[in-house]
Amino acid sequence: MKTLKISTLLIAVATLFVGCSKDEADGNGLLRISAKASVSENGTALTAKSVNTDVTVTDFRMNLKEFELEIEESEYDENEMMDDSDSWNDDGYYDFEDEIELEGPFELDLLQGEISFITTEVPNGAFEELEFKFDESDDPTSDLFGKSVLIQGTVNEVPFIFWHNFEDEVEVDFENPEFDIVIRDNTDGITIDFDLSQIFDVVSGVDLAQAVDGNENGTIEISPDNADGNGDLAQLIRERIKTAIDLLDD
């Protein structure tokens, strides 16, 4: 059975949580972050899934380096936001210019179902955006070693493997722009949802039926090293993964 690996969770904040906003009473709450893979038709977590009539995914893993939460600017007084930025971060308050940083790495096996991999104390406030970074794994015992994303399955019943080692940052928000992550002395949860049907949609995504087994070894390889001649598809999948992400209120 594949396992979720979390190495050295370090929690850092730009101002070391020296305070909270002037409009918010002192206090902290808990934030829980989860992740899953799904398909658009039902939004349920996967264990192995036919994404469409051609593609079945049996393995979907990724390595994430770090997370950042950005505070909602509208929580702060307009006059305070006009203050000189050099002095703002020295005023002893946790404010809209500061960020919560959660350092990984976090190796996620998204076909385990919905997995909760971060539970941390954060200052009360409304957070408008989640940012995270893909990075290649440096764990030599992992199948993700040297990779940031690994997807395996079949396309037209032929085995395929996609991997990439990109180190890209991704910013995600809720579909409703008025919805934020709100901590008020409570526990709130968010789920990062990777929609496989958006990635491998034959119309708006990447049509894996175009992939070829160039070296005729029985497995379609899609990666930046272009072993089977699918390097362009690897780049397309890389970009689709970054756009097929939603935040869900947990």
| Tens-digit pLDDT profile for residues 13-68 | 333 333 334 344 457 888 888 999 887 654 454 445 788 888 999 999 999 988 88
Residue ranges of alpha helices (H) inside the chain are 78-81, 85-88, 196-199, 231-243
- Between 74 and 172, name the one with better pLDDT: 172
Q: What is the pLDDT of residue 68?
A: 84
Nearest alpha-carbon partner for 76 in 120, 19, 12, 149: 19
* Residues 62/108, Cβ–Cβ less than 8 Å: yes
* Residues 111/44, Cβ–Cβ less than 8 Å: no
Q: Mean pLDDT across the stretch 124-151?
A: 90
* Residues 34/189, Cβ–Cβ less than 8 Å: yes
* pLDDT above 70 for 192: yes
Q: What angle do CA 59, 164, 115 make, to 5 degrees?
A: 40
Q: Mean pLDDT across the stretch 179-208?
A: 83
Asked if the peptide bond before residue 105 counts as cis, ω within 30 degrees of 0, the response is yes
* Residues 219/62, Cβ–Cβ less than 8 Å: no
- Between 190 and 173, name the one with better pLDDT: 190
pTM exceeds 0.85, yes or no: no
> What's the pLDDT band for 163 if we cut at 50, 70, 90?
very high
* Residue partners of 111: CB distance under 8 A and separation at least 6: 2, 37, 46, 47, 48, 57, 58, 59, 60
Q: How far is CA 4 from CA 72, 103, 116, 123, 231, in A?
A: 31, 16, 10, 27, 29
> What's the pLDDT band for 72 if we cut at 50, 70, 90?
low
Q: What is the pLDDT of residue 211?
A: 95
Q: What is the pLDDT of residue 143?
A: 93
Q: Which two tokens stand for residue 167?
A: 């180190």
- Between 83 and 15, name the one with better pLDDT: 83
